[in-house]
Amino acid sequence: YVRDNFGVRMNTVFKFYYQTWILWSLVGGYGVWRVARESKVQFLLPYMFCVVLVVVGGFLYTGLALWSKTNGMKGVVVGNNTLDGMDYIRRSNKDEYDAIQWISNNLPDDIVILESVGGSYTNYGRIAANTGISTVLGWPGHEIQWRGDYLEINKRQNDIEVLYSCRDWTLALEILNRYGVKYVYVGDLERNIFSRNSLDKFSKNMRLVYANQSVELFELY
């Protein structure tokens, strides 16, 4: 398999096997027909039985896998079905949902909002993902996967951690200017990682433009 930052076969399956099997399916269809046409009569019935068995087995997996992965179709609560990708935020963290809505409706798209950095498949990167506004760094693992530049990604992650955790406003301002950050977001995730004393520098040196019970958004002026 292709050795990449995953270290296992996953990326090989995604990038090569799926496409290869699509191409092989075309060849396989022709192959089944060609072998059937060239087979002697006494071998044709067993051959077609094997072909049908393989095809039915493939479709059988599709149905059983769907049933298994959806917990017998019980994984979704009837009545809460929605195509709104932000509905889970509204139900799990109303303050964050309201903040995201305010940002989407009141701030331009060509700015940079700073938010804390965390692991893949977590709630980190939620502001950029749900508003379409740029941030300094999203999920580091995914950025490394697609960009491959470990040094730049590690540097950005370290700068973000320093910016949130330091109490030196001069250092914080230098990092903000380095990445063209206009707004700093402070929500539950940021407060769970960084101390109140570290976060106080934003309220002392930036303008508070939005706040609710658990979210503060500061503007650099």
Would you list the domain boundaries of the chain? 10-69, 87-219
Give whole-number Cα distances, 14 to 1, 2, 18, 203, in Å.
11, 11, 6, 46
pLDDT bin (cut points 50, 70, 90) of residue 78 is low
Average pLDDT, the chain: 90
How many Å apart are CA 108 and CA 148, to the nearest integer?
A: 30
Contact between 138 and 125 (Cβ < 8 Å)? yes
Specify the pLDDT at position 117: 95
Strand pairing report for 113-114 and 216-219 = unpaired
The two tokens of residue 213 are 């019970």
How many Å apart are CA 199 and CA 206, to the nearest integer?
A: 11
Model's pTM, two decimal places? 0.73
Where are the alpha helices (H) located in the chain, listed in sequence order?
Answer: 10-12, 18-38, 41-69, 87-92, 94-106, 126-131, 140-147, 150-165, 169-178, 188-193, 196-205
- Find where tokens 């949130």 sit: 164
Q: What is the CATH number of domain 87-219?
A: 3.40.50
Residue range 163-190: average pLDDT? Answer: 97
- Neighbouring C-beta atoms of residue 181, cutoff 10 Å: 21
pLDDT tens, position by position, 116-175 = 999 989 999 999 999 999 999 999 988 887 776 789 999 999 999 999 999 999 999 999
Q: Is the CA virtual torsion 141, 147, 151, 152 positive or negative? A: negative
134: which DSSP letter? B
Specify the pLDDT at position 70: 81
Q: Is the CA virtual torsion 59, 60, 63, 64 positive or negative? A: negative
Specify the pLDDT at position 77: 62
